[in-house]
C-alpha cells in the first residue's frame, strides 16, 4: 500500500447510513475498491479496508518520528544543545559532517515511502543503526578499549607441511 494510492481521499463515493443498512454487501464491495464515506445527519464516517487504515496509522506515526529526528539533527547543526533525555538526544554525539550524512540518508529513505513497500523498514533500520553507533561512540568502555595499547603477538605463517 502506497500513500499515493490515496491521492485524493475525498473523491470517494458518498453513501448514506440508510443505504448502508439496506445494501451492506454492495457498500462493502465498493469499499474494497476505494474509500467510502458514509453520511448520517451532519456526520461523516470513513469505510476503508483494515490494511489501508493500518498503513495510514503507521505512516502518520513513523512520519512524526522522522520529522522529530530530522528536527533534532538540524537543531544540532545550528548549534542548539539537545539533552540526552530527549528521544533523539543521542544524535548530539555526532559531528556536523555525520549529522549531515544522517539527514541525507534519512531524507532519501523518506522519499521512498510513496514508491517502495519496504521504505518504513529501511527508515527503522537507518534510525536503529545510527542510534547503535551513537551508543558505541558515547560508551566510555569502548573508547578505552579502542585507545588502549595492545599486547598483540604477531602470528607466524603456517607451515606448509602437515604435522599429523
- The half-sphere exposure of 3 on its side-chain side, counting CA atoms within 13 A, is 16
Pseudo-torsion of CA 81, 82, 83, 89, nearest 10°? -140
pLDDT digits (tens, 9 = 90+) for 79-117: 999 998 999 999 999 999 999 999 999 999 999 988 888
Q: Could you tell me the pTM of the whole model?
A: 0.67
Cell numbers describing residue 37: 464515506
Confidence of residue 133 (pLDDT cuts 50, 70, 90): very high
Question: What average pLDDT does the segment 15-38 reach?
Answer: 92
Cell numbers describing residue 9: 481521499
Q: Which of 2-6, 39-43, 129-133 has the lowest mean pLDDT?
A: 2-6
pLDDT at 158: 75
Q: How far is residue 74's CA from residue 132's CA, in Å, rounded to a whole number? A: 20
| pLDDT over 90 (residue 149) | no
Q: How far is residue 103's CA from residue 90's CA, in Å, rounded to a whole number? A: 14
pLDDT at 161: 61
Amino acid at each position: 500500500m502506497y500513500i499515493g494510492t490515496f491521492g485524493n481521499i475525498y473523491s470517494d463515493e458518498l453513501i448514506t447510513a440508510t443505504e448502508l443498512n439496506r445494501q451492506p454487501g454492495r457498500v462493502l464491495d465498493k469499499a474494497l475498491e476505494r474509500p467510502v464515506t458514509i453520511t448520517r445527519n451532519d456526520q461523516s464516517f470513513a469505510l476503508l479496508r483494515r490494511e489501508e487504515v493500518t498503513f495510514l496509522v503507521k505512516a502518520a506515526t513513523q512520519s512524526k518520528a522522522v520529522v522529530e529526528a530530522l528536527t533534532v539533527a538540524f537543531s544540532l547543526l545550528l548549534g542548539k544543545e539537545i539533552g540526552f533525555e530527549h528521544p533523539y538526544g543521542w544524535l548530539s554525539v555526532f559531528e556536523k559532517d555525520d549529522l549531515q550524512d544522517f539527514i541525507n540518508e534519512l531524507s532519501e529513505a523518506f522519499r521512498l515511502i510513496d514508491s517502495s513497500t519496504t521504505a518504513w523498514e529501511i527508515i527503522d533500520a537507518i534510525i536503529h543503526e545510527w542510534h547503535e553507533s551513537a551508543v558505541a561512540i558515547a560508551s566510555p568502555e569502548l573508547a578505552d578499549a579502542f585507545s588502549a595499547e595492545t599486547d598483540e603477538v604477531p602470528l607466524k605463517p603456517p607451515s606448509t607441511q602437515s604435522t599429523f
